[in-house]
Amino acid sequence: MMLEPKIRLLSRHDEYRECERLQEAVWGGLSVSSEVMVVTQKYGGVVLGAWLGKKMAGFIYAFLGRRGRMLIHWSHMMAVAPAYRDRGLGFKMKLAHRRLALDRGIRSIGWTFDPLQSRNAALNIRRLGARVEDYVVDCYGHFPSIIERGLPSDRFLVSWPIASAAVIKRLREGPPARQVLPPACINKTALNSCGLLENGPIHYTLTAPHLLLEIPLHTDIMREQNLALARGWRLKTRRIFQHYFSAGYRVKDFIPPGGTSNGRCFYVLERRG
């Protein structure tokens, strides 16, 4: 049984150092140093840690930013150490960040995530109710992260309107019960002889109100075993999202493995207007 995590702001220098070590363990390098974390914490941002006993199992780093006329928190990094994933820690840290931000009068938190990371999609879209606002090609240029080495760093840009009725409802009621999957599927897929998901025909002319787009369950494993296939997924899904976003579709939901999706996972796109 996992201990109940203690989630709070970092305050001591050894805690910032521990956060540096966690960044290195997760991404293979340091993105934000202790010095920058200390000043971020002092001047409007948030550096939150989640402790299990004495061990820092996860953290969030967010700085104060401005979007138009609105002050926001930009959550540049969040990580949970691999051994502690899939136990709701990421979700609990996001809730703690939301409470802190609301207390400071912040009403929106933004961040980016890789659309091919299905765990992140499940957490961000389905559990938290964050909204995908844009698709950014190769967002960070050459990105040294060990998670996606060899792939262009494409990202969804999301905003989480933390005081909105939609987010309050999503957090209070949880994700919608498993719905019937929309019949219109953008990509037809199959597992290859190594058990890796491959794309077959892709449809760019669909006009149904809701469309499904399947993505791999474990892009990290695919990237390690077959980089060319993972790059193919990156380029094909980039084209699909760009095409359907410019045709008026938006990401409506994410269907994780389990339940009706039978071990597969899908984005649901919805046509607007």
Ligand X SMILES: CC(C)(COP(=O)(O)OP(=O)(O)OC[C@H]1O[C@@H](n2cnc3c(N)ncnc32)[C@H](O)[C@@H]1OP(=O)(O)O)[C@@H](O)C(=O)NCCC(=O)NCCS
Rule CB under 6 A: which of 109-148 touch ligand X?
113, 117-120, 122-123, 127
Give CA–CA dist 219/221, Å, rounded: 5
Give CA–CA dist 60/56, Å, rounded: 11
Residue with smaller CB distance to ligand X, 113 or 241 = 113
Both tokens of residue 13?
């220098």
Does position 55 bind ligand X by CB under 6 A? no
Residue with smaller CB distance to ligand X, 179 or 207 = 179
- Beta carbon of residue 257, minimum distance to ligand X (angstroms, whole number): 6
Rule CB under 6 A: which of 199-218 touch ligand X?
217-218
Question: Which residue of the chain is nearest ligand X when measured via CB?
Answer: 90
Q: Give the angle 74-254-2 at the CA atoms, nearest 5°.
A: 75
Closest CA to 159 of 179, 137, 129: 129
- Beta carbon of residue 117, minimum distance to ligand X (angstroms, whole number): 6
- Beta carbon of residue 6, minimum distance to ligand X (angstroms, whole number): 15
Task: For strands 55-67 and 46-52, give the pairing.
Answer: antiparallel
Both tokens of residue 9?
């702001």
Give CA–CA dist 165/168, Å, rounded: 5
Give CA–CA dist 48/240, Å, rounded: 35
Does position 89 bind ligand X by CB under 6 A? yes
- Beta carbon of residue 146, minimum distance to ligand X (angstroms, whole number): 10
Binding-site size, ligand X (CB under 6 A): 25
| Whether the Cβ atoms of residue 117 and residue 265 lie closer than 8 Å to each other | no
Residue with smaller CB distance to ligand X, 40 or 120 = 120
**Which residues lie near ligand X (CB under 6 A)?**
26, 77-80, 85-91, 113, 117-120, 122-123, 127, 217-218, 256-257, 265
